[in-house]
Each structure stands twice: as structure tokens, then as C-alpha cells.
Amino acid sequence: MREPDDIYSLFDKLDTNRDGKLDRQEIQKALKQLGLPPTERYINDIFRQYDTDGDGVVNESEFRHYVQRKEAAMRRAFRSLDRNKDGAITTNELQQALAGLGVPVDEQMAAQMVELIDVDHSSDISYEEFRRFALLLPSSQVSGASIVLDWMDCASWADGVEYRLGAKIPPREPFQRLIAGGIAGAFSRTVTAPFERLRTMMMADARNTSLVDTARRMWASGGLPGLWRGNMISVVKVMPQSAIQYAVYDTLTKDVFTPSHKNGDMMVLSNAQRLAAGCISGASACVVVFPLETLRTQAAMGQRHMKGAGAYFGLAADIIRTRGFRGLYQGFPMGLCSSITGAGLGFATYEAMTVAYRNHVGHSPSPGERGALAGGCAFITMSFGMPLEVVMRRMQVQGSPGYPVQYSSTLNCVRKLYVQEGIRAFWRGSLSSYMKVVPSIAAVRFCYETIIQVMGVGGVKRYRRQEQG
């Protein structure tokens, strides 16, 4: 087995001007040699993990500290690819590893991967050569599966258009996005559940015109636990909703749609493409989760004691018995319009604001900054979509105990709301909605971006949109 160079030897190979420090130009040069994205965002992430004192350069001590911290992970990754344990990774072993990940490649592609980092031209890869590549990956990518996928992306970037356009999306990526979206949605919905119930009560019941009085009524009906009434079904609903929305949107924008024009040093999607992806993601989620939304609305408004999953099954059975399965989809047309409008405008506005932020500040926003941008977008899009949601809530709640059937159709509901309660009725509950939705969307985006970053979803491919030229 060929022994790797020591850490300082690795440092010296990167330190081309021999000043004992690695600057951004030296890191960028090394990235280009290895087919890694030499973009500002990528370099920023590399410096964030190396440059612990924040002086803008990486000294030998910082380099050594990071390498030692990641050494065990890199060795595990190498051993997972070196299947015959002979101390070298061959083209055949790369083919086996990628096939196991659901991304089969031919021998020519595997040979191209070896050639990319084969410094000694031995036609296989030693641990030293492997480590040289792995050290310039984001820390979240230092695992066997992630490294080999990034390795393939880098080898295919110069010549292989097919993978760049997403024809070989690792099967695990959509699932990872589903998981990240579901967790983020459940967390944010639980935190903001009292505001969600308050706004639901104000939207669905014409008698609830005062925010303070409605809050008192909500407290009187169940105390502190009552603030979270309907949250169980809300979490059950929002997990697949957020998961589907983010997974569909990310898959469309990152793997299906092709960036159509250049903005600075970034190839970006058009506003129409972002809007279309958002609308599709919203419609997909609405079709799946709308019955759960109906249950959540009636649980929030009803008088029955909602404790445990059995209570929700009982509520669903009552709706089906009295109104049939169509009862679970009362208000669906407006719900679908609301989801399409909200998701379409929300995602498109968010992406536009992200690009504007980057152009103005000079770097891509962090997960926290993305959360703040998403909160601002939620304020804008909710103002447009609230009338649709008010109509949907009125349609969902009618026919339940205490709420007689008043509307024969969606259009009839719109007409009666306007005639009987005036134009302001379409924005009833707006204050409680802003109090709930803005922090909720901000929390969802922050959690989602953080989870995606920690999991390393998308690998180095997600940095390619900042590729120059």
C-alpha cells in the first residue's frame, strides 16, 4: 500500500507562492485543476471550514487542524470504495460503487474519473490522491457516497453534458429533499400553532371580528393545550405538504429546467420558469393533503375533544357519513388556486429576492438570511392569496356542528361574502395571519436550507450555477 504524504506536504502543493498561507487565488487554482466549482460561494464555504481566525487566508496550523479532524472520515470513505482492500481505487471499483448508488456509468466514464485525480498516472487512485480531492470538498460531502458522486460530477463537467443536465440524478436526492422539507414544515408549524388556530377561527367564522376577543374565546375553550388544538393533524398535513413542495420545486429547478440566461457570473432560471415550478409544486401538494387540511380546519373550529389519532379518524368518518368523500374536498377549487398562487408567487419572489440580494451584497445568503428573505416574501404573497384562503375556510367548515350550510358553491360563497360582509371580509384575520405565516415560512426556509446544507444534498453540483462563462 502506498503511504500518503504528510499534511505539510499536502499544504505545500497548494501553497504555490510559498508564503506559508493559502489565499483565495491558490484555492481557486486547485479547484479548477480538480474540476471543482471555482465559484465565490464554493470558495467561501471552503474558507469557512478552514479559516478559523477569519483573517482571509489559511495558515499551516489551520490546514493541519482541519485535515486531522476529517482524516478518519476520509479514510472510511476511501475504504468503502477500495473494495478489494489493496490500497488503490480502480475503475472497476468506481463502477461498482456508482451502480450501488443507482447511478451506473460505463468504463470510459470511470476511467475519466480516475484520470482527473491520478497525479502519478498509475491508472488507479491512492489514498494520497483521493485525500487531495476530498480536502477541497465542503465538509458535509466527506463521506463515501457523497465523494464519489461529486467526483463523477467533476469528471463529467468538462465533457459530459448528460449528467450536468440531470439525466443521472442520484435516486437518494429527491428522498433527502422530501425528508428535509417534512422536518422543516413540522417544526415551524408546531412553533406557530396558536397563531394558526387563531387565524383559522377568524377566517372561518363571521362572528370572530376581533383579534383579542377571538384569542380569549380560544383560551376559554381549552386553556393552554387548546392553543394547539388541531396541531396534530396540522403536522401530519404539513409534513407531506412541505416535503412535496420543496422536493418537486428543487427537482424541477435544479435537475429538470435548464437555466436560460446569465446574471453576473451565474446562470439562472427565468422568472417564468420559477413561477411554473412553484405553481406545479403547490398544485402537487394540494391534491395530496387537502383532506387533511379540511380535518385540521374543522378540528380547530369544532367543539369535540380532539385528543389522539382516533379523534381525527372519527371526525373523518363523520364527514364522509354526512357528506360523502366529497366532503373532504369542500372548498378544493379555492384551495387549489390558493396553493398554486401561494407557492408560485412565493417561490418565484423568493428566488428573485435571493438573486437581488446576491447582486447587492456580493455573496449568496446564508440559511439564516434565506429565512429572513422567505419571511418577507411570505408577507407579500399572503396579501395576494388571503381572499382565496378565506373562501376555502368558509367552504370547509360549513356543515360541521354549529356551522350550517350557507354556500351552494365556491362562487356563491364569494358573492355572499362580498354582499353580506363587504370587501374587508376577504382579508379577515390578516393580522393573525401575518403573525403566524411570516415567522412560519421564515422558519421553514431556514430549517430546510440548514438541513440540506448539513446533509450535503445536491453535492458540488448545486454550486455549478455560479460557474463563470
For the chain (length 469 residues), average pLDDT per consecutive 10? Answer: 60 89 92 86 87 90 89 91 93 92 88 91 92 88 84 71 46 80 83 75 69 76 71 73 85 80 66 90 91 76 58 78 83 86 87 83 79 85 82 81 82 91 83 74 85 80 57
Instruction: Give the closest residue to 153 by CA, choosing from 34, 45, 24.
Output: 34
CATH of 172-466, one of 3.40.190.100, 3.40.50.1820, 3.40.50.720, 1.50.40.10: 1.50.40.10
Helices (H), 193-230: 193-204, 211-220, 223-226
pLDDT, position 153: 85
CA 219/CA 205 separation, integer angstroms: 16
What integer best gives the mean pLDDT of the chain?
Answer: 81
**Distance between CA atoms of residues 91 and 292, nearest Å:** 50
CA nearest to 366, candidates 98, 41, 11, 27: 41
**What does the pLDDT read at residue 95?**
93
Q: What angle do CA 78, 80, 84 make, to 5 degrees?
A: 95
Of how many residues is the chain composed? 469
Separation in Å, CA 243 to CA 174, 181, 189, 445, 449: 10, 4, 13, 12, 13
pLDDT in tens, 67-103: 888 888 899 999 999 999 999 999 999 999 999 888 8
Alpha-carbon span 340 to 284, nearest angstrom: 9
Strand ranges for 226-342 from DSSP E: 261-263, 266-268
Cell numbers for 158? 468538462
Q: Residue 204 has what pLDDT?
A: 66
Per-domain boundaries in the chain:
7-164, 172-466
Q: Do domains 7-164 and 172-466 have the same CATH topology?
A: no
> What would the grid cell of residue 234 be?
396540522
* pTM score: 0.61
Please give the CATH superfamily to which domain 7-164 belongs. EF-hand (1.10.238.10)
- 149-199 pLDDT per residue, tens: 889 888 876 444 334 434 456 767 778 888 888 888 888 878 777 777 777
DSSP string, 291-359: HHHHHHHHHHH--S---SHHHHHHHHHHHHHHH-GGGGGTTHHHHHHHHHHHHHHHHHHHHHHHHHHHH
pLDDT at res. 167: 42
